[in-house]
A = this chain, B = another copy of it.
Amino acid sequence: MARTTGSDGERTEAAVREAAVNLIARYGYEAMSMRQLAAQVGVQAAALYRYFPTKEELLFTLMREHMEGLRKAWEHARPADADPAEQLAAYVRNHIAFHIERRHATHVSNMELRSLSPDRLTQILRMRTAYEKELRSILRDGAETGVFRIEDTGLTAMALIQMMTGVIVWFRPGERLSVAEVMATYLSMTMRLVGATSAGEERHVHEHARLRA
């Protein structure tokens, strides 16, 4: 046999990406074999090499597009002219919404970094650092303006990001909590953690009420 009826390159490539994200998230990059991936797509292993030259290139593509998606989401969600408290709230909401919606891809991007070659690792880490830098900048602004009380900006940024990204470990859609509830609670915890002054707290409380409605 050879080309099958109804076969379509674009559809196959999309199916490969989706199956790869799911399999790598569940079993890990090293544990997923190209044959296993091909079987999930409904194709022979050799067909995969029409779309991705190597297994590592496939992993890198998934990670790069995930990071670009995160950057674009924040570019779209960031408020143009807003005080640090509003900016921080937008950052938290965007981060949690994005990571819950793309749990599997996030898992891959966070857990499989060590399977990348050095220069590809550098590229992904650069994108990640740029994204984290946005948060540090917001925190610094807030600390200088006096709306936040923060001991160490860099350390607080790392703590917040790890706290927020952690939702993908335990969150399962359709269980006890809705996405809006999780977002609201994490927003509340974040504002307290950065010592947001009453003005920021007020805003957050209103936000909280709105989200639960």
Cβ contacts under 8 Å, A158 to chain B = 166, 169-170
Is A186 engaged at the interface, CB distance under 8 Å to the other chain? yes
Query: In the complex, which residue of chain B has the Cβ closest to the Cβ of A31?
Result: B30
Interface of A: prevailing SS: helix
Is A177 engaged at the interface, CB distance under 8 Å to the other chain? yes
> Are A169's CB and B177's CB within 8 A?
no
Query: Among the listed stretches A50-58, A67-75, A188-196, which one makes contact with chain B, having 4 or more residues with CB under 8 Å of it?
Result: A188-196
Is A182 engaged at the interface, CB distance under 8 Å to the other chain? yes
The distance in angstroms between the C-alpha atoms of A152 and B182, with both chains bound, is 10
Is A8 engaged at the interface, CB distance under 8 Å to the other chain? no
Known: A155-B177, A155-B182, A192-B195. A114 touches B26 (CB 8 A): yes
Among B115, B160, B163, contact of A31 (Cβ-Cβ < 8 Å): B115
User: Shortest CB–CB separation between residue A181 and chain B, in angstroms?
Assistant: 8
The distance in angstroms between the C-alpha atoms of A30 and B163, with both chains bound, is 27
The distance in angstroms between the C-alpha atoms of A55 and B188, with both chains bound, is 44
The distance in angstroms between the C-alpha atoms of A28 and B182, with both chains bound, is 32
The distance in angstroms between the C-alpha atoms of A30 and B166, with both chains bound, is 24
Q: Write the A160-198 contact mask toward B (1 if CB under 8 angstroms, else 0).
A: 111101100110000001000010011011001111000
Is A22 engaged at the interface, CB distance under 8 Å to the other chain? no
Is A159 engaged at the interface, CB distance under 8 Å to the other chain? yes
A: which residues have CB within 8 A of B?
26-28, 30-31, 111, 114-115, 151-152, 155-156, 158-163, 165-166, 169-170, 177, 182, 185-186, 188-189, 192-195
